[in-house]
Structure 1
Amino acid sequence: MFAALGPGLSVAGLALLASALLTVAALRYARWRRMLDQPGRRRMHREATPRGGGIAIVLVAAVAALLLLPQPIGGAFVASLALVAGIGWIDDHRPLSAGLRLAVHLFAALLFVAALWPPETLRTGRDVLVFGTAVLGLAGAINFWNFMDGSNGLVASQSLWVAAGLGGVLAALGATPWTLCALALAGACLGFLPFNFPRARIFLGDVGSGGLGFACGALWLVAFETDRSAIWWLLLLPAVLLADAGLTLLQRVVGGRRWYTAHREHLYQWCIRSGASHARVAGMYMGWNLLVVLPAMLAMLRWPAAKAGIALAVLAATAMLWLVGKRAVLRRVRNPVSR
């Protein structure tokens, strides 16, 4: 059942090395082109920093997919990844409108989902609902990853966690090519991390955050389609990242604010503004994965009959943590003397 994990470690190691070398090249290119993120009101850094380093992860993921995945789904994965990363790469060079980027994201999501579930196979209303939800969900993942890309190491480390977890799930399901692809993505994230954490020498950029959002989302959909009963494990893997992105978005919509504009209202942004270091914030998010989500997933293996209840309890606890965290940070900001 886990036979792919052995070769997967070799693939991950090669991906790590390739990603590190390509990140060095991306750093030199960004400096040459003066692709720098300047400090600003929404941003959490204090000095001009090169961006676009995520191109290294995208290139490694694309090559791995070309070499490992069956066709035509592998071609659709690479083409969709290229669309998402390509529009992000252009945006890293010169800003594009949000509408254009969203249109490309939706088209890329549609292209991949149509390859995973060809329209001619949609025979019931439920099939159509799953198809439409998958397209919107995949486009949403691309943007959620982008929303969360504002703190050193946060998105790269969370993507490492999600990709490695998906590799484990896919290995258990016997989907060997996709397992290797997921582990290659995890290795690529690990190869990039030393350049982005704890001190950021280069940022992912839109090419990286969008590309990672697509790749993680697409692998998630493949695991779901391979065995839909794995949904409870799959929901937990990105829980902490999606909670901050999704609940912040919901809060802005309910509050009547322009949810589609840039802001700094995510919990991770509030934590940094209140004085927490980037390393501490990334550590807190990963700590939740390791101390709560991972034990819950192991408990679900031990007691499969209770997996739905366990998963829902962890999801509720994650949402509660977001709410409590926001209130605690708000109190800290309002009462600076107590710090």
Structure 2
Amino acid sequence: MIAAVAARGAIAYARRRGMLDQPGQRRSHTLPTPRGGGIGIVLACLVAIPGAFLSLPGPWSGWTTGSLALALLLVAAIGWWDDHRPLRQWPRLGVQLLATACFSAALLADAGLAWAWLPLLVLAGGWSINLHNFMDGIDALLAQQGIFVAAGLGCLAASVAQPALAGGAFVVAAGCFGFWLYNRPPARIFMGDVGSGSVGLLLFAFGALLWGIEPALLWPALILGSAFVADASLTLLNRFLRGRRWYAPHREHLYQWLVRSGRTHARAAAWYLGWNLLVAAPAAVVASLLPAMALPACAAVYTAAGATWIVAKRRCMRRASLKDRYVAT
């Protein structure tokens, strides 16, 4: 409810402040659209997640709860600033890494884990924030992914009797759903950096908290996010190998090629939903129920995701080329 009400208010605010994403060569929409609606997800999570952590049974101290709230505030604040006045990538990245470091340090202290994990957690958190920002380019896609992954993490937490963690993850899913109501095609508002970065942080944080409780749950958690992780990672790797700036705006993700080849935003998002429901969800269930199969299942899913990305992108590129030739004639 909070996310939906805030998203509706953000539409009027964005129009009043001129926070509109204009159509362009590197964008997939055709009409000026307000941005910044993800602030509703942030507000909902800041209100409800601490309540879940402090009222439901769980091993997390007030320090971990506070560090998660602080990290979310930092990432949301730099994203909100960027939505109003675009920033260079390095100040944004610096704040994002600081936020993930604060949360990761609290997690390691609370779980009694080795501090040698800190650099890896910081890098993983920074990558999650940015990959979800990269994947926020068509109507409903990121909100849909946030609902699926957060709900899946909540189910994993419930399976190991962690009500606080499950409750917090379901809060994230509910917040994404509240925003999705205004972001489904045709979108009335976009999430903006305030939302995309925050969703990336939250999904990383709940995955890391699960790992801190039961390390074997890392693999099903990674499986849940396979569609976005594979698309963002392979696209960025491809740009790097071609000598292009990985952080520069572009339209080379698979979801963007799906739209460029003539598919609607709804159909492109349906491709990712199909992968999540038909591949990621069953594989995550297998990985959670059969710990000995968790790592092989995760490797198999990412191998399949990579192969799917290559084949689908080539077909989309051919289709887009034929479409451009037809338009030219």
The TM-score, its normalising length taken from structure 1, stands at 0.90
Equivalent in the alignment of 1:4: none
Equivalent position to 1:52, from 36, 41, 47: 36
Displacement after TM superposition at 1:58 (Å): 0.6
Instruction: Give a deviation string over 1:172-204, Cα, whole Å, max 9, x none.
Output: 122221211110110111111120112110000
Trace 1:66-81 onto structure 2 (pairs within 5 A): 66-69=50-53, 70-81=61-72
Equivalent in the alignment of 2:302: 315
Equivalent in the alignment of 1:24: 8
Asked if 1 retains the 8 angstrom alpha-carbon contact of 2:63 and 2:106, the reply is yes
Asked if 2 retains the 8 angstrom alpha-carbon contact of 1:332 and 1:338, the reply is no
Displacement after TM superposition at 1:44 (Å): 0.6
Cα distance in 1 for residues equivalent to 2:113 and 2:203: 24
Cα distance in 2 for residues equivalent to 1:85 and 1:218: 14
Displacement after TM superposition at 1:171 (Å): 1.1
Asked if 2 retains the 8 angstrom alpha-carbon contact of 1:85 and 1:211, the reply is yes
Percent of aligned pairs with the same residue?
44
1:250 aligns with 2:237: yes
1:112 aligns with 2:103: yes
Instruction: State the secondary structure of the residue aligned to 2:139.
Output: coil
Cα distance in 2 for residues equivalent to 1:149 and 1:291: 22
Higher mean C-alpha deviation, range 46-55 or range 68-77: 68-77
Equivalent position to 1:180, from 167, 172, 178: 167
Cα distance in 2 for residues equivalent to 1:285 and 1:332: 19
One-letter amino acid of the structure 1 residue matched with residue 154 of structure 2: G
**Higher RCO (CA-CA < 8 Å; seq separation 6+):** 1
Higher mean C-alpha deviation, range 62-71 or range 312-321: 62-71
Equivalent position to 1:292, from 259, 266, 279: 279
One-letter amino acid of the structure 1 residue matched with residue 149 of structure 2: V
Equivalent in the alignment of 1:9: none
Instruction: Give a deviation string over 1:11-43, Cα, whole Å, max 9, x none.
Output: xxxxxx221111111112112212111111211
Equivalent position to 2:196, from 195, 206, 209: 209
The TM-score, its normalising length taken from structure 2, stands at 0.93
Equivalent position to 1:154, from 141, 161, 185: 141
One-letter amino acid of the structure 2 residue matched with residue 38 of structure 1: Q
Equivalent position to 1:223, from 197, 202, 210: 210
Instruction: Give a deviation string over 1:48-79, Cα, whole Å, max 9, x none.
Output: 10000000001001111222224011100010
Equivalent in the alignment of 1:10: none
One-letter amino acid of the structure 1 residue matched with residue 275 of structure 2: W
Instruction: State the secondary structure of the residue aligned to 1:335.
Output: helix
Instruction: State the secondary structure of the residue aligned to 1:117.
Output: helix
Displacement after TM superposition at 1:338 (Å): 8.9
Higher mean C-alpha deviation, range 30-39 or range 299-308: 299-308
Trace 1:318-337 onto structure 2 (pairs within 5 A): 318-336=305-323
1:138 aligns with 2:128: no
One-letter amino acid of the structure 2 residue matched with residue 51 of structure 1: R
One-letter amino acid of the structure 1 residue matched with residue 157 of structure 2: L
Cα distance in 1 for residues equivalent to 2:111 and 2:292: 35
Cα distance in 2 for residues equivalent to 1:188 and 1:20: 8
Cα distance in 2 for residues equivalent to 1:177 and 1:35: 36
Instruction: Give a deviation string over 1:148-188, Cα, whole Å, max 9, x none.
Output: 01000000100111100010111112222121111011011
Q: Which structure 1 residue ranges, 5 or more long, are not aligned? A: 1-16
Displacement after TM superposition at 1:297 (Å): 2.5
Equivalent in the alignment of 1:95: 86
One-letter amino acid of the structure 2 residue matched with residue 292 of structure 1: V
Instruction: State the secondary structure of the residue aligned to 2:62.
Output: coil
Displacement after TM superposition at 1:303 (Å): 4.5
